[in-house]
Structure 1
Amino acid sequence: MSEAPSATDGSKGAVSTPSASSARPSDEMLPFLNNFHDIFTTIGVLILLGGMGVAIGQIMGGLGIEEGSLRWQMALMGLFGGFAIITWLLAALLVGHQRRILPGIVLCGAFSTAVTIILVWAYGQFLVQGVGIGEDYFESRFANAPDEMEFGREAVAYVLSQLPWSVRLLPVVAGLAALIPVAMFYFSFRLPFAGGLMGVALAVLGALVLFTLDPYTTGTFAPAVGVAVGGVLLLAGIIFDARDPERTTRLSGTAFWLHFFAAPILLSAVLNVVQVGWTLEEADFVNPEQTNLMAALASDSGHAAQLAAVALIVIALFALVSLLINRRALIVSGLLTAGISIAAIVNQSGLEAPVVLAITLLSLGGVVVLLGAAWNPVRRVLLAPVPAHGPLARVFPPVSAAEG
């Protein structure tokens, strides 16, 4: 969400806002765009980043170093480091000074990706060059492994017993490598997108810590862990919204992105729970295609129609929550799954593919248009029992008389 007018961003004639206790936000503003100048600048940023990528490829090709060697990797990481520095300087100008949101999203993604790659590579080199963990190491450690060891807790425990903690911590290191640049970006520029991305990184890092401590149990409860990660992000978004019920500051912008990221994670996790249960069986690890959600929805079996019906019920619950907290991001993130689910149900009637597609698009589009047109009237009905002031009003913002 764009920043509230302030002296720091050069805005003039700021309109006074109602007190926080009234909690009457207007329709959601764009949390990723200030104006068309953002789009214009973003086009330039994308072209510049693309040119830098091509330049890196040309430089690496002209060095004459054996591809894949340590010197080649060090040269590539050095160029990635230069790429990260340039993106940071651009962010300091465009985001830190001019508060350009959309270019900031692109630069945040580019900077975070480059730094994450460098950090993971550096830890990998620490393992290989410093600790001496390479192909020979693994061959010696697993030379006496049982020939016919079936997958299970004992097999996982045996593998872990042969690995030092420096290797076992690799998932946590990867999670930290993804978190550090995003946190740097957020705390330096206070970009809401970076705040939402940092929330995702923190939630995933928590899951990776559990996986590192007990990979078998965490893997077995993977569907439940997915629900927990999505639920934590959704709760974090609600908390950030409650701190800014007027939806005028970066707190609300961060909340938007937390909701945006939470919705697909939570939706897919809940549907996986419906499909396979709260835990995975050992056969699911051996044949992971059995847990493929989209493949199950796309099949012609009756189970696909049942799963699709459950998906629509879950998305309907998302829509209800969206109406209550006045956040459309939860619905938008579930539109693709909703479309696939409608198609899976209609497909059971035996109609031809073009007819199924037409019915799916008409149904999905009609619902979205009707919901958009009746958003505030429906919210007014749903929130009739909720007090217009107080703590609940900060979580469930009431509809003002000025809103249609």
Structure 2
Amino acid sequence: MYSESDIDQAVAAGVMPEQVASDFRNHVAALRATPAVDEEHFRFLTGFNDIFVTIAIALLLVAVGNIAGNVHAVAGGVAVAGVAWLLATYFTAKRRMALPSIVLLLAFVGGLAAIVVAFGFSMVQNPGDRQAAAIGAVAAAVAAAGAWLHWRRFMVPITPAAGAAAAVGLVVSLLLTILPESLRLAWPLLFVGGIAVFAYAMRWDLSDRARQTRRADVAFWLHLVAAPMIAHSTFQMMGVFEGDMGLGKAVVVLLLYIAFALVALVVDRRALLVSSLVYVLYAMSVLIRTAGSTELSLAFTSLVIGSALLSLSAFWQPIRARVVAQLGAWGARLPPVQMAG
């Protein structure tokens, strides 16, 4: 099995002409009866060996972290980050293994953040909210810097997403450090951060509208980070799970989900739909219970939402074509509905 990254590397090495690569993608898309640009391809597995190696890496990192952590908590983070970087020089830089590369990146960034947190809490006994937020801010800054360094060396597509999440954490932590009372604004701040990450994701997406290069993979992971920030903060600010949801609030949740679906169609990314699914399921169950069917509310909810999502998936392209057509000149800047040629 050949991934999009493998094809990109073959083109870059001169093994395969760009036109041949494009024709190959179009051929595969025709076999699947779907435009290649409408498939959210991302490289996750190159084979079962990825899973095997990932399990071994996880065991090794856990062991190293525990052994070093018994000496000092800071040493545990140093050991995990250091070993993750060393392993990445082989499994990422040389072998180009997808899943192990993702795990090693997260271990490296997480290890760096753990170093700061462990050091901060060892220096400050029983820290208050402001001190804890300051430690979190430094940890987020170090994690973001580590993600940038990792990207410069290995260029794993998930790395910008990890850096963006750390950057949002940095901004929120700094605000909590300066204004501890802003804790009540945590969800609005997370929403703003999600919008910023979404905009950053669109920058990557629009730089590769046909989704044929590594930039599309980077955009995929950024959307995957932005979506839960936007969805969870939106519905948490509405207080969806706080007390009994009324009929009016349930209708608003459904309308918001429809709005998210339109955004997903426009940008051709499905992460928003998945991230907000639990809220629309809850809202639909409330509506069904209100209609009088209490015992079968869960079954009817699953039937309605499942059927709607399957229909949307089956007719994604024609629906998206109509939605994009309504955007006029803006639609021409978005990922195309069909592959050219």
Q: Shorter-chain-normalised TM-score: which range?
A: 0.7 to 0.9
Task: Supply the distance in 2 between the matched residues of 1:173 and 1:73 (Cα, whole angstroms).
Answer: 24
Q: Is the 8 A contact 2:158 2:218 kept in 1?
A: yes
Q: Which amino acid aligns with 1:28?
A: E
Does residue 197 of structure 2 align to residue 258 of structure 1? Answer: no
Task: Supply the RMSD in Å over aligned alpha carbons.
Answer: 3.1
Q: CA deviation at 1:254?
A: 1.5
Does residue 87 of structure 2 align to residue 123 of structure 1? Answer: no
Structure 1 segment 1-400 matched on structure 2, within 5 A? 2-3=4-5, 5-7=8-10, 12-16=15-19, 26-35=37-46, 37=47, 39-54=48-63, 57=66, 59=67, 74-125=71-122, 128=123, 133-134=124-125, 169-216=134-181, 218-275=182-239, 293-294=240-241, 296=242, 301-303=244-246, 305-353=247-295, 355-386=296-327, 392-394=331-333, 396-400=334-338
Unaligned runs of 5+ in 2: 23-34
Q: Which amino acid aligns with 2:252?
A: V
Q: Deviations over 1:332-352 (max 9, x none)?
A: 222232222222322334434
Task: Supply the distance in 2 between the matched residues of 1:306 and 1:193 (Cα, whole angstroms).
Answer: 39
Unaligned runs of 5+ in 1: 19-23, 61-71, 139-158, 276-292
Q: CA deviation at 1:7?
A: 4.6
Task: Supply the distance in 2 between the matched residues of 1:84 and 1:321 (Cα, whole angstroms).
Answer: 37
Q: CA deviation at 1:15?
A: 4.7
SS in 2 for 1:312: helix
Q: CA deviation at 1:226?
A: 2.4
Q: Is the 8 A contact 1:175 1:204 kept in 2?
A: yes
Q: Structure 1 residues 56, 186: CA separation in 2 closer, same or farther (over 3 Å shift)?
A: closer
Q: Structure 1 residues 48, 398: CA separation in 2 closer, same or farther (over 3 Å shift)?
A: closer
> Which one has the bigger helix percentage?
2
* Count of residue pairs brought into register by the alignment: 325
Q: Deviations over 1:244-298 (max 9, x none)?
A: 11212222212111211111211122223333xxxxxxxxxxxxxxxxx43x3xx
Which structure's relative contact order is higher, taking Cα pairs within 8 Å and 6+ residues apart? 1
Q: CA deviation at 1:169?
A: 2.9
Q: Deviations over 1:118-157 (max 9, x none)?
A: 22212334xx3xxxx546xx8xxxxxxxxxxxxxxxxxxx
Q: Which amino acid aligns with 1:197?
A: A
Larger Rg: 1
Q: Which amino acid aligns with 1:369?
A: L
| Residue 29 (structure 2) aligns with | none
Q: Deviations over 1:51-83 (max 9, x none)?
A: 5424655x57xxxxxxxxxxx764454344333
SS in 2 for 1:397: coil
| Residue 30 (structure 2) aligns with | none
Q: Is the 8 A contact 1:179 1:202 kept in 2?
A: yes
Q: CA deviation at 1:208?
A: 1.9
Q: Structure 1 residues 181, 47: CA separation in 2 closer, same or farther (over 3 Å shift)?
A: same
TM-score by length of 1: 0.70
Q: Is the 8 A contact 2:228 2:275 kept in 1?
A: yes
Q: Deviations over 1:148-196 (max 9, x none)?
A: xxxxxxxxxxx89xx8xx7773232132243233333223211111111
Q: Percent identity?
A: 24
